[in-house]
Structure 1
Amino acid sequence: MIDSPFVPQPRALFIMLDKLRIVLIGTSHPGNIGGTARAMHNMGLADLALVAPRCEVYGSESHARASGADALVSNARVHATLEEAVSDCTFVVGASARVRHLPWPMLTPRALGERLPRECAPENARAALVFGREDSGMTNGELQRCHAHVHIPTNPDFSSLNLAAAVQVLAYECRLAFLGSDAEDTETPFGVEWDNPPATHDDLERFFEHLERTLIDIDFHDPDNPRQLMARLRRLFLRTHIDSMEMNILRGILGAVNKQSRALAARKDGDGNG
């Protein structure tokens, strides 16, 4: 069905679409920013974030390619890092066509669309779809900051997709799924209304930094020989649905470990001086 001004749209659609952000990393051509804005506006999305763009953002070419979606280009926010761009998001998905040495939860575009209504159901929830550089995609470090990856199953003999085309494919699947959802009836990931809001990406990043420092302090983690320990721990925690209270508990446990570690070190110093 083709949407038109004469076809009433469910209120749930606008609620969900407002919770979805498109993030472009290191974009090198202004036309791709404009094309992405047009693809987003076609599907009713309006939240565009740019991470360290390598081209002029607000120039004539990006606006020309936007073809009527100029406002999305003008309102696009520019960030220095991916962490800054998705700090308030509770579900982050990275678009990737590369095979990873360390497997990560992988979704098809259709599965992504089906999952998003559940992920966006909590009141404070916000999702981000992240797209990498035109020439090299996303780095391993950037992909490890995503809860899941999504892969568009293109022709293996000609698999390269234009950036705006990739955004169009995923935005369409999200709109299709949101059209079939009801904000009041959307099933939660746990089957019941949860008692605390989900942890944000910023919460998770602070936790991972705290966890790594703690593991180094107790000699469990050697940063000079990491053996993918932190990447595997990221994968473990990111595929769960940690809420804000659970995050406070985890940070409290790490704080207690830090305290005991400092006390033990002080006793050892005292014994040595004695």
Structure 2
Amino acid sequence: MNLAVVLVSPKTPGNIGAAARAMLNMGAGDLRLVAPRCNPLDPQAIAMAVHAEDLLRSARVYATLREALADRDLSVGTSARVRADLPPGRHPATLRPLVRAAAAPALVFGPEETGLINSDLEQCQVTVRIPTGDYASLNLAQAVLLVCYEFLQGVEDAPPPGEAPTTLPAPGRKTATREDMEAMYGHLRETMQLIGYTDAVRARHTLRLWRAMLDRALMSPAESRLFRGFLRQVHWRVEQAAKAVPDAQSES
């Protein structure tokens, strides 16, 4: 499986190295770092990576999460907290078939102190929650190890009680990349504000609801282009209507 592990703004080199080792343990080989706050090749990182030094040295660094996810067709965020306006975290067993069906999935982990913020989770189609005891805070490398195990080595089993299985794309069907979807969502936001469907204050909340609905559709690249074609037509019609108003006034 072409699984990427994305660490957003990791703080300590030891955690980056330990995460690389956890990836190697579970068979993941694509490490991506978003705006790291330390040197990922610090001697402490290399020491903690042990035999995963090559994986650590091949890690790619990105300025933003959007860039890190641009070529992925599925992004799975991680969070132990329930967030307003965002879908709740799912048990890993319910997401395993979805991840394994994707051509280029990514697992996204947040900074050690805070985890992923809402704007990061908005860029993830689904969120995974690792079942724990009352104390839910995991070390970064522990979280990477557990989630990579679930998706790469875990055996198929029934979903936990109360959780429905995840909808899967049809076999062989290609889904849009996250860059395709983010571009579409930017276009959708512009259109909603253009026609007065929402305003700058409410736009984020409204767009989260649309994201949740449209991400569940697992759009193909052609479908995302089709939707954007519809949005372009809306823009064109609004522009034509705006031009017609002065013409009508001048005639009167």
**Alignment map for 1:191-230 (pairs within 5 Å):** 191-194=170-173, 197-226=174-203, 228-230=205-207
Report the secondary structure of 1:220's partner residue: coil
Q: Which position in structure 2 is the counterpart of 1:13?
A: none
Deviations 1:21-42 (A, max 9, x none): 0000010000000000000011
Q: Which runs of 4+ in 1 moved over 3 A?
A: 177-180, 190-194
State the aligned residue count.
242
Q: Say yes or no: does 1:246 pair with 2:218.
A: no
Q: Which position in structure 2 is the counterpart of 1:49?
A: 32
Deviations 1:118-174 (A, max 9, x none): 2x2xxxx20000000100111111111111000111111x22110000000011111
Report the secondary structure of 2:133's partner residue: coil
Q: Say yes or no: does 1:136 pair with 2:114.
A: yes
Q: Distance in 1 between matches of 2:125 and 2:137?
A: 24
Q: Distance in 2 between matches of 1:236 and 1:191?
A: 18
How much has 1:111 moved relative to structure 2?
Answer: 2.4
Q: Which position in structure 2 is the counterpart of 1:260?
A: 237
Root-mean-square deviation (CA), in Å? 1.9
Segments of structure 1 that go 5 or more residues without pairing to the other structure are 1-15, 181-187
Deviations 1:25-78 (A, max 9, x none): 010000000000000011111100001111111111110000110011111111
How much has 1:179 moved relative to structure 2?
Answer: 9.2
Q: Distance in 1 between matches of 2:38 and 2:169?
A: 43
The share of aligned pairs that are identical, in percent, is 37
**Alignment map for 1:1-274 (pairs within 5 Å):** 16=1, 19-104=2-87, 106-118=89-101, 120=102, 125-156=103-134, 158-177=135-154, 189-194=168-173, 197-226=174-203, 228-274=205-251
How much has 1:240 moved relative to structure 2?
Answer: 1.4
Report the secondary structure of 1:107's partner residue: coil
Q: Distance in 2 between matches of 1:60 and 1:35?
A: 12
How much has 1:225 moved relative to structure 2?
Answer: 3.5
Q: What amino acid is the match of 2:14?
A: G
Q: Distance in 2 between matches of 1:248 and 1:227?
A: 22
Q: Distance in 1 between matches of 2:28 and 2:8?
A: 18
How much has 1:198 moved relative to structure 2?
Answer: 1.0
Give the TM-score normalised by structure 1.
0.83
* 2:79–2:89 Cα contact (<8 Å) kept: no
Give the TM-score normalised by structure 2.
0.90
